[in-house]
Structure 1
Amino acid sequence: MDVRVVWGKAGNGGRPHLLVCHVLDTAVVADALFDVVPGPHCQRELTAALEPLGDARAWVAVLCGLHDLGKCSPTFQGLRADLAESLLPAAPAADVRRLMGRQGIGKRLDTHHGVLTALHLQRILTRCGASPKVAKSLAWALGGHHGVIPESAAVQQARYATGENGGPWWAEACDALVATVAKLWGLDAPEHLPWDQVRLSPEAVVALAGLASTSDWIASSRAQADYSGAEVDLSGYLAEARRTESVKLAALQWLPWTPPRESGFADLFPQVQLPFPVQTAVERAVAGMRGSGIVVVAAPTGEGKTKAALQASTVMVGTLGLRGFYVAMPSRVTSNQVYDVTEQFLSETGEGGALRLLHATAKEYLKGRTAQEPLMPRDVGLDGPGDGDGEGSEWFAGKRGLLAPLGVGTVDQVLMAGLRSTHVFVRLLGLSGKAVVFDEVHGYDVHMSKLLDRVLWWLGRLRVPVVLLSATLPSRRQEQLVASWRAGALGVAGRADEPSGDVAVAYPRVVWADAEGAPPLQIAVKASTLNRDRLVRLERVSLDDHATWALNQAQRGQCVAVVHNLVRRAVAAYKELAQAISALPEENRPELVLLHAQLTAAERAAAETFVRSRFSPQGGRSGERPTSAIVIGTQLLEQGIDVDFDVMISALAPVDSLIQRMGRIQRHSRRGPLLLALTGVEELESKVVFPPRTTGVYDEAVLLRTWALLRGRAEVRCPEDVQALVDAVYGEQTAVTCPPEWRGQWDRAAARHDRRRRRDEAEAVWLRLPQPRQDLQVQELTRRPGSARRTRIQRGEPRGA
């Protein structure tokens, strides 16, 4: 049978792109991407799965090409009945006419071609001897290339919809197409191969699904002028496809990053005269790694955790043969900051690659920078027309960033890989070849934490090494995170969040665990000289007086940070201070700036530039630090931004957030007593009062436990007190004593906390991926898909605003 009678892409013109040609295009791309996108473990799993067939890599390419086999059907060909009439023989052309007449001109036909791909591939592979599970897994994974894996009921329905699948002639045409492509690729006919020996792991299925979807997107980016037409020599076309598709791939700049040969900390950061103890401990932990693992760094702000993570990632990439790394930050502003640090790191090591910045306003940030290097190359030629069925390649715009070897961005980009959402296998594929760094992991809410646990489970299964950074990580939470990654790596089913009771107590500390099953290695670390013996004095200031307190401090020649939990409070404080400052003589007016996430893009860029230029280490050294200033902000001032203030006044927040905020007081040099004033909390006769809507941002039970610990304290010793304070607030209920007069409020808040936690956990469990167990059914990955944006639960004003 001549397979050149079926069109695959049509656009709006009369020149078709034959289905067999699109299959060859996609197979060529998949063959090239095999060395570029999947991580080494996924490569090994795919190779081992298909090795009984002979050339495993070639079969990966051919199977990816066959993702559109279902287009060989009346239901798809009827979308351009005029082309079908001109190409098909009389009998199948009549099938198309009958179907079109039944459904009406211009109506979308019922069965999606992905479902029919699953139907025909399962039939063909079963006939060739594949086990039912293997046939179904391969066919379903390839049939889901548009993002959602078909369900069994849909495939079963398509099997009996003979008007749409076409019956015997169309099944024979599908068989012929498979045989033709295999022959053009130099492979034996599939019916002569031992498909009964093929075994598939979850990693192999995910990698194949992601590779097919990615390859289809790239191959589909073809101008209509370059469509094959009806008369084409297939052997010659295959040779031409290898040339044209290589041009598209080169434009993507997806070549793996080659790390420096010398990857010690001093080699990578020669400008650092003496590494901090945490950096030395991380270097020691990863130096002897022989396989993938997870590193946890719990240390105060200012200990160089970001540079330590970059050094660890460099070692991991070189040792494990990975493609690059991704640094996941809690917010856009911290992503921007770490992007700049990472870009400089890549430039100074002489190994700069195409570093991507991934968050919703990344393009705006990059456009606003002074120098405009081509750091985010346009995907030239890759935004062309979509499939002939009317679906374009726009779906890929938000997902392809993780396929690039080097990236920095918000943590949501990675957490989406833990949701049952469309194209989740593409995200997992993109992560499979990277080392992944998570910063500020203590700051995730219950919903995000559950997703992170499941993402870590999958990263462990894919043998993706992970670095977790935190200044205030509860011991129990650390154990859960490490257990999740190891459960995936070891293939352990069941719950990974049940603590063993063997919790970490050292602080600062570096923890290393691998996939070999030995107990995690904990390294107790001393804080650096600057972070050692930090005695932070605590004051209490009423909310009505806090603006006056800040202005008084500024008039003494101090740079003051005012941190609120809600944007409306920050704005109100800014207006009050602006009015008070305007009444002062001009020479006595401190500089005043407001920073929060709800500013316009231009306002926020200006505020970020001011804060980072004046209060970063560079600002201090260059003399740009003002003699007096007041910076009013929200949680953006606590989450990773490298700034330094003389004193701070903060609304009461959970203890871990307060410790983070304390870390911004004289962060780069000691200039006097360390002072944190607490506001936004008042005690009445029988209850504690917080500003309105505060408990919509932070859990009231956590705020009460924090205040119960701090209300009688005059100081906090850092780092000595940090772990005990954090573990008390987030540990057992009995770890903090409730003042008798609060008992009613305390119990009610605790009950609400438990209800909310159970609800958030239930929603996360409903949305997240299944465990990567050996008996995983591929359709579970996208069953009842939720929005990929549902990575966090937000109530009231968003945390981190």
Structure 2
Amino acid sequence: MMDTIAVARRLAPFLLRGRVHEELEVALAPLGDAWGWAALLCGVHDLGKCSPGFQALNLPLAAARIGAWGLPDVEFVARPAGVPGRVDTPHGIVTTLQFRDLLFAWGATTDTAICLAAVLGGHHGHFPAGQDLAQARREVNNRGGDAWESARTGLVMQLAKLVRLPDPRTLPWGQVHMTVPAAVGLAALTTVSDWIASDERNFRSPGTEFDLGDYVTLAQTRADTALERLKMLPWRPPEDPRFSVLFGESPRPVQDVVERVVGDLTEPALVLVEAPTGEGKTKAGLQAAASMVRTNNLTGVYVALPTQSSSNQVFDVAREMLAHLGDPTDVQLVHSAASDVLAALPSGIGADDGDDSDVAARTWFTRKRNLLAALGIGTIDQPLKGAFRSGHVFVRLAGLAGKVVVVDEVHAYDTYMSASLRRLLAWLGALGVSVVLLSATLPSNRRQDLLAAWQAGVNGRRPHDVTTASTETPYPRVTVVQATGAWSYPAELTGLNQDRAVHLEHVDDSRAVDWLLARAAQQQCVAVVHNLVRRAVDTYAELERRIALLPPDERPLLIAINGTLPRAARRNVERELRNYFGADGRRPTSAIVVGTQVLEQSLDLDFDALVTDLAPIDSMLQRIGRVHRHRRDPLRGNIVVAVAGVVDTQSGPRFPPYLRTVYAPAILLRTWAALKDRDRIESWTTTAELVDQVYCDRIPCPQGWEEMWAREHQRLLAAQRDDAKAAELNCLPLPHLIEDLFELTERPKPPRPRKSTGARK
């Protein structure tokens, strides 16, 4: 208990920032030393171990340590030697029952007593349910009678005295009022402090004879060492966090607007940046985050992306920024392919509890540590789990609550993930977390949903009761949402994207290889993006066969990349592609790159021309953005994109088999209806309008398609309803509707119900 108190006192300034920090401090302020009492409450989490059922787990030790007052109770409930399993009441539940009674005795209100007791009892990940508490009340032998209750009360009094806090019986507990953000913060502080304090390398058990007063000082020293080993330090951006300072280059127009509007923010905000590919949205997001970290005294930044490859890419951008600044802060990259680990890992955690162990704690300090580290970059799934009912969800939320959360490529999420993201935004709003959303192509209805979700969370309302900024401001634009309103600001485009006309062609699948080889013969570097791995493999095999027939000096470089490549091979191919086609790449004379969606959103590459399978309009525009991405030069000719993977018939288009498992046919129908008669897309403003038309169902049905159009539209609506229902079932309740903390951790389920509908909304 003393170890946990020492850790909590030192960890709180790092882990808890913003509204979570403020509301917990205000809640406990009537007690005098708010953070002293917060630390003591964290230490009381294991109070339930002072019970016959728990002590009976090691009967020889209990016999040596517990006097005649309690040993008969321990022996009575002890399990016979050799009999497996446990029947003792979980000690977290005993803690909840005892501390609730103490708080009532000290004059706390019912709501405060129930909330604080549940916070402490949930330190192994799950807040106790009412039926579990009722059952534990009946299990008197396990938790012990009056003598054990008196012993537990004595422990609390002794802890308060050791850390020089006043007698809790003399304090105005009736004035303590816990909010949901305060409860989330205290629960997270309790759990993480417990994990660190349970690390046997930091906190060795003292001998049988020692002085408790001296141990207080020793525990404080050990806590300092433990936090230093775990690098629990905030990121401090430079005092002048302007774009030119962070990156050593002049800002582009969109980046300049972001810098100006974010520089004036002093309260939590959601910033939405809508701009074409190539305008520098990622760096704009990092600059905005650095500015808000500095202004609001936050811990750091978490950047969420849709794929491992895009995470790797932004990880490199962040490291380059820190290197330019001479900043030694570590950036944590976390996804299933990341190999870096912390120098220090907790051990000896929860040996007494099967639901919380070294494995559970190490998961947080390794694979999920970016939610606790000052600077984390990883895939969207990690923060998104903060929207789901699950064990330790409060740690995930508190880890995000002290940061600015940047979500890149928000257009790339389907219906289920979009619903989950909206719920996460509501919680981030409620916790006072500033958010930066980045998108090239965002439909107006989804734009409204995302902005409303965050603003509703800030104001404790339902999202459908909130009306945010309209889309009257022309694209590209930067939108700022705060508790009191929303404002949009227009931005200019760089020369790269001004008057960017895209020439469209329709190529039959049987001619796609010929098209690619013809372009390569003109000394161009071209790419083909297929929606299905099978199609990519077939195209690569045919290209390989055809290229082998060419004279050696006429053979283009041929590269394949898709999600099925082994991890090491995938990294090598990504590196090769960046070296050839990145912003500073050394382009080969001619090349053909065959890939899947990984080329769409994960790699910052530039090709001379492109063949792409028909995909939803936002995906199509992302792919088109890979042509003449870094350099516009008359010698490169027009921006030419050929569309494959679709065959026109009188009754409607025909798509490759199995494509409906990737994308919703209704969205493909609308996309093809919008593009099939076009030979040009004039500008990025036109592309924004196309996205709205497709996703807001404003495309008229072509003649002859009526039956297919109606059928697939109904299937899309049904799939969206199913996904929304599944997301709602698994998601946390809206923050302002929480009545019992148990609602946050009940019925943990996998955060994915079934196959994706592929429907982006």
TM-score normalised by the shorter chain: which range applies?
Answer: over 0.9
Indicate the residue corresponding to 2:153 in structure 1: 175
Give the residue type in structure 2 aligned to 1:438: V
Q: Does 1:697 align with 2:662?
A: yes
Q: Does 1:399 align with 2:364?
A: yes
Q: Give the CA deviation at 1:388.
A: 3.3
Indicate the residue corresponding to 1:561 in structure 2: 527
CA distance in 1, matches of 2:472, 2:536: 37
1:383 aligned residue (341, 344, 347): 347
| Aligned CA distance change for structure 1 residues 582 and 202 (closer, same or farther; 3 Å) | same
2:415–2:759 CA contact under 8 A, matched in 1:
no
User: In the TM superposition, what whole-angstrom CA distance separates every residue of 1:763-786 from its partner, at most 9, and x where no partner exists?
Assistant: 100011111117542111111122
Indicate the residue corresponding to 1:469 in structure 2: 438
Q: Does 1:598 align with 2:564?
A: yes
Q: Which moved more, 1:645-654 or 1:89-98?
A: 89-98
1:480 aligned residue (446, 449, 473): 449
How do residues 335-350 of structure 1 correspond to structure 2 at under 5 angstroms?
Answer: 335-350=311-326
Q: Does 1:581 align with 2:559?
A: no
2:646 aligned residue (670, 681, 701): 681
Q: Give the CA deviation at 1:506.
A: 1.5
Q: Does 1:238 align with 2:216?
A: yes
Give the residue type in structure 2 aligned to 1:652: L
Indicate the residue corresponding to 2:477 in structure 1: 509
CA distance in 2, matches of 1:489, 1:799: 28
1:415–1:791 CA contact under 8 A, matched in 2:
no
CA distance in 1, matches of 2:394, 2:68: 40
Indicate the residue corresponding to 2:286 in structure 1: 310
1:140–1:149 CA contact under 8 A, matched in 2:
yes
How do residues 40-189 of structure 1 correspond to structure 2 at under 5 angstroms?
Answer: 40-101=18-79, 105-189=83-167
Indicate the residue corresponding to 1:615 in structure 2: 581
How do residues 735-746 of structure 1 correspond to structure 2 at under 5 angstroms?
Answer: 735-746=698-709
Q: Which moved more, 1:252-261 or 1:346-355?
A: 346-355
1:221–1:386 CA contact under 8 A, matched in 2:
no
How do residues 272-311 of structure 1 correspond to structure 2 at under 5 angstroms?
Answer: 272=249, 274-311=250-287
1:448–1:792 CA contact under 8 A, matched in 2:
no
Q: Does 1:752 align with 2:715?
A: yes
Q: Does 1:630 align with 2:579?
A: no
Indicate the residue corresponding to 1:430 in structure 2: 399
Structural RMSD (CA)? 1.9
CA distance in 1, matches of 2:499, 2:129: 60
CA distance in 2, matches of 1:268, 1:614: 27
Indicate the residue corresponding to 2:514 in structure 1: 548
Q: Give the CA deviation at 1:793.
A: 5.1
Indicate the residue corresponding to 1:666 in structure 2: 628
Give the residue type in structure 2 aligned to 1:778: L
| Aligned CA distance change for structure 1 residues 521 and 332 (closer, same or farther; 3 Å) | same
Indicate the residue corresponding to 1:10 in structure 2: none
| Aligned CA distance change for structure 1 residues 497 and 606 (closer, same or farther; 3 Å) | farther
| Aligned CA distance change for structure 1 residues 225 and 710 (closer, same or farther; 3 Å) | closer
Indicate the residue corresponding to 1:15 in structure 2: none
Q: Which moved more, 1:456-465 or 1:673-682?
A: 456-465
Give the residue type in structure 1 aligned to 2:702: P
1:39–1:322 CA contact under 8 A, matched in 2:
yes
Q: Give the CA deviation at 1:498.
A: 7.0
Q: Does 1:794 align with 2:755?
A: yes
CA distance in 1, matches of 2:80, 2:357: 27
Q: Give the CA deviation at 1:393.
A: 2.6
Q: Give the CA deviation at 1:275.
A: 2.1
1:505–1:723 CA contact under 8 A, matched in 2:
no
Q: Give the CA deviation at 1:500.
A: 6.8
User: In the TM superposition, what whole-angstrom CA distance separates every residue of 1:63-100 from its partner, at most 9, and x where no partner exists?
Assistant: 00111111111221121112111111224222122112
CA distance in 2, matches of 1:580, 1:799: 37
Q: Does 1:784 align with 2:747?
A: yes
Structure 2 length as normaliser, TM-score? 0.96
Indicate the residue corresponding to 1:769 in structure 2: 732
2:422 aligned residue (431, 446, 453): 453
Indicate the residue corresponding to 1:330 in structure 2: 306
- Report the count of equivalent residues: 752
**Match of 2:150, SS?**
helix
Structure 1, unmatched stretches of 5+, are 1-22, 367-375
Give the residue type in structure 1 aligned to 2:438: L
CA distance in 1, matches of 2:349, 2:429: 37
How do residues 229-268 of structure 1 correspond to structure 2 at under 5 angstroms?
Answer: 229-268=207-246
| Aligned CA distance change for structure 1 residues 302 and 791 (closer, same or farther; 3 Å) | farther
1:475–1:504 CA contact under 8 A, matched in 2:
no
CA distance in 2, matches of 1:705, 1:110: 60
What percent of counterpart residues are identical?
Answer: 43
**Match of 1:430, SS?**
helix
Q: Give the CA deviation at 1:216.
A: 0.5
| Aligned CA distance change for structure 1 residues 484 and 708 (closer, same or farther; 3 Å) | same
CA distance in 2, matches of 1:223, 1:590: 57
| Aligned CA distance change for structure 1 residues 767 and 225 (closer, same or farther; 3 Å) | closer
| Aligned CA distance change for structure 1 residues 678 and 341 (closer, same or farther; 3 Å) | same
CA distance in 2, matches of 1:139, 1:104: 35
Give the residue type in structure 2 aligned to 1:66: V
Q: Give the CA deviation at 1:352.
A: 3.3
User: In the TM superposition, what whole-angstrom CA distance separates every residue of 1:748-775 from its partner, at most 9, and x where no partner exists?
Assistant: 1011101100000001000111111175
